[in-house]
Structure 1
């Protein structure tokens, strides 16, 4: 699944600020935009974002394409919860064309490795 997140969204996810409801909703003219900390051209409607987030939850992985670097991507799966208090993912990165060709195989390998070593 291709997820067209604005580039700043990756930074917001990493900072954990999406967990703060006021960050999701924005204020004033920015209300309802997740990307209110982004340049205007990268604003993202909350309903559109939640559709993407729910798709990631349903699929159990995220495939980001061209977000940080053009023609590069990452397929990532959330790791099981651990005692150190942070959510972590295991991802495989590379050229988008190669990741697309082997997407099902990569997702299967990641899930198999998680089940074998971390469950």
Structure 2
């Protein structure tokens, strides 16, 4: 097996791994701002607010607001700008989240690389003139 293929296989949650429950996900994320990477590069940062509300950012001071909800073994996100749900399967690996979009193949997971209790620097809705 090629080294890259082997590395992706080892990094990917096994098909037999049990996804994290919605309650465990909520306990892990609420009150935190988590940064994710994909393929070793920054992917984005999400702030998990009370009542399953979120703020997502892929660039400084540019935030998208939404909510999350459980659907079967997945966690789905709906953002104000896009009513189409974006669903992910989450696992915990060594105390950090690993996420695979239900639309993607194994090998494209996101990895929790940082966690803080500091909020995202998001301007409030309707700021300005």
Q: TM-score scaled by structure 2? A: 0.25
Relative contact order, higher structure (CA 8 A, sep 6+): 2
Kindly indicate which of the two structures has a greater share of residues assigned to strand.
2
Q: Which has the higher helix share?
A: 1
